[in-house]
Structure 1
Amino acid sequence: MTLSQCYCFSLIITIYFSLLFHTLASPTQHFCRPNQRDALLEFIDEFPTDASNPSPWDKSSECCLWEGVTCHDKSSKVISLDLSYTFLNSTLKINSSLFRLSYLRHLNLNGCNLQGEIPSSLGNLSRLTLLDLASNQLVGEIPSSLGNLKRLRYLNLGANTLTGEIPASVGNLNQLKYLILAANELRGEIPSSLGNLSCLLELSLSANHLVGEIPASIGNLNELRAMSLGQNILSGNLPISFANLTKLNHVSLRSNNFTSILPSNMSGFHNLEHFDVGANSFLGSFPKSLFTIPSLQVVYLEENQFMGPIEFVDTTSLSPKLELLYLAHNNFDGPIPESISKFLNLGELHLSHNNVIGTIPRSISKLVNLYYLDLSNNKLEGKIPGFLWRLTTMTLSHNFFSSFEISSQETLIQALDLNSNSFGGPFPRWICKLKGLSFLDLSNNLFNGSIPPCLRNLTDSLTDMILRNNSLSGVLPDIFASATELRSFDVSRNKLEGKFPKSLINCKALEFLNVESNIIKDKFPYWLGSLPSLHVLSLRSNEFYGPLYHRHKSLGFQSLRVIDISHNDFNGTLPSYYFSTWLEMTTLPDEDDRYMADIVNPFLFYRNSMEMVNKGVEMSFERIRQDFRAIDFSGNRIYGRIPESIGFLKELRLLNLSDNTFIGDIPRFLANLTKLETLDLSCNKFSGQIPQDLDKLTFVSYMNFSHNLLHGPVPRGTQFQRQKCSSFMDNTKLYGLEEICGEIPSPNPTTSQQPEELSDSEEQMFNWVAATIAYGPGVLCGLVIGHIFTSHNHEWFTEKVGGRKLRVTTRAH
């Protein structure tokens, strides 16, 4: 049972009991007892009230008529108090007036914003049959005194922050039918005393920190219908007694550390509907007997260590009600069995991340209710059969499919993921007919030719178009006039040329735009700055040119978080206010980032990716970190000073301005970027000293100041001293590199001449330099290989002069 399902089920039970409680008495038939009235009023006065949060009761009326209060029809004593979702906003006191209501049978304070600990005094309300304190902010341990409530049938303490162990005294509640302690911070083992609860129908301990094995005594719970132990740290084997729980209809052991095999014969669980053991380390072969249970509807076996072929029992009595089957992330091999067609009610089939081979069997066409198919990350091959186009979601990525079978039937496909296969030839124009398509990923294939203009037929519904890493050529068509829902567009690593499509200005929902590594030749599309949701922009490695801003237009880019315009031909200076409107690089938003994890539909998730130079190495960011903020302007012809407004981008993690023509001192305001992890200013014309203030950049793991005109001492901060020597090379007057680069032998005066051969010390020095250059991650500018060392007030230069000869010169400091 998943956590959400658990609480839905519990809520239904709570509502049922609440309705039942209010039928126990007819409060209009009697008057409220004064002592009961006084106790109620004193209890409600224990909680703060004001104009925005008034008391829930009218003191001028009979207390048995108050909302949530039920009195016995003869004795007029309060037997039920249901204040669920009333904003009490305080602690439940140990001497609360509540405990004077000694005839209470039902106490429901669910969702009241209660705080503090559960008072042990609750154990004195000995007539309680229902106690619900769920969805509050309660802390501390569960009091063992609750074990005194021998009449209790329903106990719900879920969704709090309770700590400590489950008290063994809970095992004294031998009439208990519902025990819900999920979503707390409980630790320790499941007490074996829970095996005494022979009447229990539901056991929910999920989302805690419980450890150890499931106690064998759990097999005593012969009446149990629902067991949820997921999201704990339980381990070991399932007890043999687990097979005794034949009345179970709902089982969740998800997200634990179980390492055993499942029971060899599971057909005895003849009432089972929902079975979830996903995200464990269960072993063994495919559990054939599980799929003979007639009532079975949902099975989660994903993310385990199951192995061998997927085989069903050779019988016509396979689970006829099965709707969802999750087998992903295991070690299953062999073909998809033809017998899978017997699950006529199957709606979702998940087989991704296994070693399944062969082709898609024709028998799947009999699954008329199938709407979601995930066969990604296997070793399937051949042709995609036409009958699959009636599905709504199909992901077949990371296989060896090479062709399509076109269907004349109506297509219902909404999400199509075919990335990383062996498809080739021209772009498949039949895709233009998929009118309801919202997600399309054809990346990492061998498609060639042009992108057809007919794709504009889809842009009304498309949210994601991913064509990355093919061999597409020709002009990138201007087809986005009606693409108002488009959130992600990626055509990187193709051979597209021409102008940048200006109709992208209509894509008001656009969050991710990547045209990296094409041949697009145009000016900087400054008008993209008006897109309200644009988070990621990559124009890297194209032929863009000209300045980076328009003097008469607003800079915009208020939502930009990652920008890579490196390796183009941009030029000009940047005004001091250039970055002043880049607001999402100044603070992190509170809401979740959709562009980092786009939900295409309720079942298929896609993460945008891109490549950047991070820490001196070109890296692929398959999953862009949610707090990642980056600027890469490297490899252009931008000159002048670094704009002062960049110092306001407090959330910046990566800044790469290398291989440009920036001048002046390295500005001290870069020290304001306290979250920087990567800083590359290499291959420019910076002069002056490296600011000591950069010591404040305590998160920086990579810096590069090489190939500039810097002088003075290298700062002594830890982050500087742990850089490689190559990060400071070719700065003629830098010194203080001894601890970073190592000591270099003092030169012999005769080496000021031009020797025919190298001395031993010179040979040693050159080998050291060559090794540093080969190993170092920095970018080398031009064809000169060099490094500056300072030792004993000398600066050493080496430069290649042809052949294997070196000219070594010495200059006094």
Structure 2
Amino acid sequence: MITQSHCYCFSVIMTIYFSLLFHTLASPTQKFCRHDQKDALLKFRGEFLIDASNPSPWNKSSDCCLWEGVKCDDKSGQVISLDLSYTSLNSSLKTNSSLFRLSYLRHLNLNGCNLQGEIPSSLGNLSRLTLLDLASNQLIGEIPASIGNLKRLRYLNLGANTLIGKIPASVGILDELRDLILAANELTGNIPDSLGNLSSLLYLRLSANHLVGEVPASIGNLKELRAMSLGQNSLSGNLPISFANLTKLNHFSLRSNNFTSMLPSYMSGFHKLEHFDVGGNSFLGSFPKSLFTIPSLQTVYLEENQFTGSIEFENTSLSSPKLEILYLAHNNFDGPVPKSISKFLNLRELHLSHNNVTGPIPRSISKLVNLDYLDLSNNMLEGKIPGFLWRLTTMTLSHNSFSSFEKSSQESLIQALDLNSNSFGGPFPHWICKLKGLSFLDLSNNLFNGSIPPCLRNLTDSLTELILRNNSFNGVLPDIFANATELRSFDVSRNKLEGKFPKSLINCKLLQLVNVESNRIKDKFPSWLGSLPSLHVLSLRSNEFYGPLYHRHKSIGFQSLRVIDISHNDFTGTLPPHYFSNWHGMTTLTEEDDRYMADIVNDFIFYRNSMGMVNKGVEMSFERIRQDFRAIDFSGNRIYGKIPESIGSLKELRLLNLSDNAFTSDIPRFLANLTKLETLDLSRNKLSGQIPQDLDKLTFMSYMNFSHNLLQGPVPRGTQFQRQKCSSFLDNHGLFGLEDICGETHVLNPTTSQQHEELSESEEQMFNWVAAAVACGPGVFCGLVIGHFFTSHYQEWFTEKFGRRKVRVTTRAR
């Protein structure tokens, strides 16, 4: 029976209950920070160099469980999570750090904190950790074996540091691990077998290290694995048979290793695979047809291997309907472009360059309505370019044998068009003038003739690269660049163009390269180009330019210039002492030099400038100029007077050619300031006096030529001088000390050896150099450079604007 007292007690209880409930709803949950935890956090923060401009937001008087980056257990008040990612700690983790007093920590995230030094073994004391992220710091040393103490760990990320040594076998103890990320370090040795114990692992990323040996068979135990990235190591051998067990993989990468085996024949078993990348190895065998039966497949990278035979796809309805990107470039595939490629209706990018593919472009490609990017360059294709391709945005068909164009009935969307090195002839294709969105145009190395049409003016507001080199274009070079504010490269070299140099280029403030060499342009030196802030390379070589290089009251800027070749013209006059004072691009190296000559920065085009060279009469081209290359070639003109003193300030200069002019007076001693100089030619001038002994200090020097001057006195005895040919000192009757260079007979009997010397000099003149060491070490003469040194093959470019993937830059002689 319920009494009145019972009712009263019940009423009191309910009042207290609702009061507590109201208080709970009206105020946030209280997390009472333990004093020892607060003390440990504050001492840990005090172990680092705090940026005075960015003080710690932790307030000593407040509850530490409410501090930014700190989370506590609601009941115990113990700190269970510490996330200081991207906080500049600027110091190392100490062995006795107060951090290790936070023994209840489950999550520790110090990603991007500028941590330095080694990972202390005492980190293994935090045995309750389930997440540990120390990525993107400057950690060094080995991964401590004590990492195996963290047996509850599910996420481990030590990537993007400078860790060395082997991956400790103790990592294999962490049987709850789901993510293991050790990428982008300096780790060595084999992949430990013990990783096969991580049966719960979903993501394994060991790329960009120095790992060697074979992939261990134990990897096949990781049956839950979703992603495996082992790229950019030195792994080799065969993929283990157990690899077939990884049927849940959706991402697999072995890019840039040393595999020389064949791909497994059971590829179709990876029925969830989306991304497959084995590019940059030496895999052998025929085209892996079974790979393309996987329904989930989206991207495939097989480029830069040794695959052979024809490209064939399984004649089955099980083909990969989701395939979007296919890279087959740089292999040994032959035969035609397969008609069956039309089954991949979602294909957006197709890369078949640098193979031996033959025949015409199949009309079945017209069914690929989503195709946007097509690269068939460097094959043996021929015939007409089909009209349906004009709906693409990026098309490179260079280095084939295409000879004509098929008209298109649809509006063109082309933004980047590379037809370089084919067999196109006749006049400039006027329909190109209607490609309103065109940004990249390369028609070089073809048989085009006639004039360059003024209608190109219609494109100049969008063009970034205009390359018409090595055709037979003639007539006046049109002055059409008033609106070309995006233009970065302009190359019309090796044609038959006449008239004036186009002054409207002054509007091209982004211009980096100008090359008009080997034409018939007749004009004064365009000193106004010096005002262009980004101009790096200028070649006026082998034209009919005339007059002085210097005009009083006209400042010579060229602040960004790296390479200038104005040789073989008719320039005259003297150069004042301060002539090179503002050429800062040859004085210091900047961060931009890491990008220059490798790609045109910002926006889009990735391409490679090259140098055409003649080595003893044999033409070569090197597809990449060394990034720190600096060169001046004023040879073959009529410049006279003293060599300007300001040239001694160009500390980064690698090549200097003032030959075949009329310079007088002594060879200036300030040339010894050019400590990185590798090539020096002062021949065929009227220089007198002695060769400065200070030039003996130029230890990078590989080639020098002082012949045909009025020099006298001793030849320096340094190694760099003694390695030169006798012809480098020819026709300086006052020079002596040539016995070791020319031989006793030549020195004592100059008349009887005259014929031999003339032959030697004739051989040297075949170089007609512009000499440069291309990717060489100190004192190594790597390429007498020779002839027309920058004919600029623009290849393997792409555009970030169009979402293109960068291809790895390689350097090869063509």
TM-score, with length taken from structure 1? 0.89
CA distance in 2, matches of 1:67, 1:744: 85
3-state SS of the aligned residue for 2:528?
A: helix
The correspondence of residues 391-470 of structure 1 with structure 2, limited to 5 A, is 391-470=392-471
Q: Quick one: higher RCO (CA 8 Å, sep 6+), 1 or 2?
A: 2
Cα shift readout 1:619-664 (whole Å, capped 9, x = no counterpart): 7554222111111110011111101111111111111011111111
Contact 2:522 2:546 in 1 (8 A): yes
Q: Would the alpha carbon gap of residues 267 and 604 (structure 1) be closer, same or farther in structure 2, given more than 3 Å must change?
A: farther
Contact 1:498 1:521 in 2 (8 A): yes
Contact 2:739 2:747 in 1 (8 A): no
The correspondence of residues 176-195 of structure 1 with structure 2, limited to 5 A, is 176-195=177-196
The equivalent of 2:776 in structure 1 is: none
The equivalent of 1:292 in structure 2 is: 293
CA distance in 1, matches of 2:136, 2:733: 66
Q: Would the alpha carbon gap of residues 236 and 620 (structure 1) be closer, same or farther in structure 2, given more than 3 Å must change?
A: closer
Cα shift readout 1:566-603 (whole Å, capped 9, x = no counterpart): 00111111111111111111111122455513348977
Q: Does the alignment pair 1:769 with 2:770?
A: no
CA distance in 1, matches of 2:634, 2:500: 21
Cα shift readout 1:488-531 (whole Å, capped 9, x = no counterpart): 00000000001111111111111100000000111111111111
The equivalent of 1:167 in structure 2 is: 168
3-state SS of the aligned residue for 1:257?
A: coil
Measured after TM superposition, the shift of residue 605 of structure 1 is: 2.3
Q: Would the alpha carbon gap of residues 777 and 46 (structure 1) be closer, same or farther in structure 2, given more than 3 Å must change?
A: same
Q: Would the alpha carbon gap of residues 219 and 746 (structure 1) be closer, same or farther in structure 2, given more than 3 Å must change?
A: closer
Cα shift readout 1:415-443 (whole Å, capped 9, x = no counterpart): 00000000000011110000000000000
CA distance in 1, matches of 2:617, 2:383: 41
CA distance in 2, matches of 1:776, 1:96: 68
- Quick one: which amino acid aligns to residue 769 of structure 1? E
Contact 2:616 2:767 in 1 (8 A): no
Cα shift readout 1:468-495 (whole Å, capped 9, x = no counterpart): 0000000000101101110100000000
Contact 1:616 1:702 in 2 (8 A): no
- Quick one: which amino acid aligns to residue 385 of structure 2? I
Q: Would the alpha carbon gap of residues 543 and 315 (structure 1) be closer, same or farther in structure 2, given more than 3 Å must change?
A: same
The correspondence of residues 619-768 of structure 1 with structure 2, limited to 5 A, is 620=621, 622-744=623-745, 765=753, 768=756
The equivalent of 2:86 in structure 1 is: 85
The equivalent of 1:306 in structure 2 is: 307
How many residues in Structure 1 have an aligned counterpart in Structure 2? 743
Contact 2:228 2:253 in 1 (8 A): yes
Q: Would the alpha carbon gap of residues 250 and 601 (structure 1) be closer, same or farther in structure 2, given more than 3 Å must change?
A: farther
Q: Would the alpha carbon gap of residues 576 and 616 (structure 1) be closer, same or farther in structure 2, given more than 3 Å must change?
A: farther
CA distance in 2, matches of 1:30, 1:494: 79
Cα shift readout 1:733-769 (whole Å, capped 9, x = no counterpart): 1111111111117979xxxxxxxxxxxx976x35643
CA distance in 2, matches of 1:622, 1:427: 27
Contact 2:541 2:569 in 1 (8 A): yes
CA distance in 1, matches of 2:285, 2:620: 38
Q: Would the alpha carbon gap of residues 187 and 602 (structure 1) be closer, same or farther in structure 2, given more than 3 Å must change?
A: farther
Percentage of identical aligned residues: 84
TM-score, with length taken from structure 2? 0.89
- Quick one: which amino acid aligns to residue 583 of structure 1? H
Contact 1:512 1:608 in 2 (8 A): no
Measured after TM superposition, the shift of residue 617 of structure 1 is: 9.6
Q: Would the alpha carbon gap of residues 474 and 762 (structure 1) be closer, same or farther in structure 2, given more than 3 Å must change?
A: closer
Q: Would the alpha carbon gap of residues 762 and 583 (structure 1) be closer, same or farther in structure 2, given more than 3 Å must change?
A: closer
Contact 2:531 2:557 in 1 (8 A): yes
Measured after TM superposition, the shift of residue 297 of structure 1 is: 0.4
Contact 2:268 2:293 in 1 (8 A): yes
Measured after TM superposition, the shift of residue 29 of structure 1 is: 3.0
Q: Would the alpha carbon gap of residues 159 and 70 (structure 1) be closer, same or farther in structure 2, given more than 3 Å must change?
A: same
The equivalent of 1:247 in structure 2 is: 248
- Quick one: which amino acid aligns to residue 366 of structure 1? K
The equivalent of 2:787 in structure 1 is: none
The equivalent of 1:96 in structure 2 is: 97
- Quick one: which amino acid aligns to residue 60 of structure 2? K
- Quick one: which amino acid aligns to residue 83 of structure 1? L
CA distance in 1, matches of 2:50, 2:690: 63
Q: Would the alpha carbon gap of residues 604 and 335 (structure 1) be closer, same or farther in structure 2, given more than 3 Å must change?
A: farther
The equivalent of 2:127 in structure 1 is: 126
CA distance in 2, matches of 1:585, 1:68: 48
Higher fraction of strand: 1
Contact 2:593 2:628 in 1 (8 A): no
CA distance in 1, matches of 2:469, 2:767: 26
Q: Does the alignment pair 1:52 with 2:53?
A: yes
The equivalent of 2:22 in structure 1 is: none
Q: Does the alignment pair 1:597 with 2:607?
A: no
3-state SS of the aligned residue for 1:571?
A: strand
- Quick one: which amino acid aligns to residue 740 of structure 2? E
Cα shift readout 1:76-95 (whole Å, capped 9, x = no counterpart): 21111111112212111111
3-state SS of the aligned residue for 1:520?
A: coil
Measured after TM superposition, the shift of residue 53 of structure 1 is: 3.0
The correspondence of residues 514-525 of structure 1 with structure 2, limited to 5 A, is 514-525=515-526
- Quick one: which amino acid aligns to residue 473 of structure 2? L
The equivalent of 2:567 in structure 1 is: 566
3-state SS of the aligned residue for 1:242?
A: helix
CA distance in 2, matches of 1:779, 1:293: 56
Measured after TM superposition, the shift of residue 254 of structure 1 is: 0.4
Query: Once structures 1 and 2 are overlaid, which stretch shifts more, 190-199 or 30-39?
Result: 30-39
The root-mean-square deviation of aligned C-alpha atoms, in Å, is 2.0
Query: Once structures 1 and 2 are overlaid, which stretch shifts more, 598-607 or 721-730?
Result: 598-607
